[in-house]
Amino acid sequence: MATRSVVISMRLPVESGDRLKRMATRHGWTASDASARLVEEGLRRAEFAFIDFRDSAAGRQAYVQGTTLAVWEVMLLVRSYKENVAAVARYLNWPEAKVQAAINYAKTFPGEIKMALTENASVDFEELKRMLPQAARFLSHRAKR
């Protein structure tokens, strides 16, 4: 199914246009695609507290502002803590509002988050080791009484 779109023209200062073209080239996008993505990200930032966007090894992703965690990573924790926002906030040493912001974003864009979670689950240690040769396997051993 094709995504519906609308054409909106805009004027940019020459310097901004040059920066936009460099960003597009860096990502393999057209300038039009880059500007559409940036507008969408700006709208999402305005609509969701504590959400930002960054480049990562997996592409552009939604992150929780001021942290190193992508929204999908926070959702892994939320699920592991059985949706207990306060417990996740204590674990991360964050205000509950930041955890709730990730949940709010994930609820609005479930396909995006599901795709990231699926991608994460599909990578096993051997594949990770090929991508990150310095990766080491750590196993937790419960102390015997």
Query: How many C-beta neighbours within 10 Å does residue 99 have?
Result: 26
Q: Has residue 132 got a pLDDT over 90?
A: no
Any domain includes 131: yes
Is the domain of 70 the same as that of 42? no
Residue 88 lies in a domain: yes
Q: Residue 96 belongs to what domain range?
A: 52-137
- Residues 43 and 57 reside in one and the same domain: no
63, 97: one domain? yes
Task: Using pLDDT thresholds of 50, 70 and 90, give the confidence band for residue 42.
Answer: very high
Please indicate, yes or no, whether residues 72 and 133 belong to a single structural domain of this protein: yes
- Count of domains in the chain? 2
125 vs 107: CA distance, rounded Å: 29
pTM above 0.85? no
Question: Over 90: is that where the pLDDT of 28 sits?
Answer: yes
pLDDT tens digits, 74-104: 999 999 999 999 999 999 999 999 999 999 9
Residue at 128 is within a domain: yes
What percent of the chain has pLDDT above 70? 94
Bin 50: left if φ > 0, else alpha if -120 < ψ < 50, else beta: left
Q: Are residues 36 and 68 in the same domain?
A: no
Pair 60, 94 in one domain: yes
Same domain for 86 and 27?
no
- Summary mean pLDDT of the chain: 91
Indicate if 129 and 58 belong to the same structural domain.
yes
Select from 63, 57, 68 the least CA-distant residue to 113.
63
- Do 109 and 124 reside in the same domain of the chain? yes
At 141 the pLDDT is: 60
Other beta carbons within 10 Å of 17: 13
pLDDT for position 137:
77
Residues 96 and 28 in one domain: no
**Under 8 Å between Cβ of 111 and 62:** no
Do 62 and 132 fall within a single domain?
Answer: yes
Task: State mean pLDDT over 59-69.
Answer: 95
Residues 68 and 133 in one domain: yes
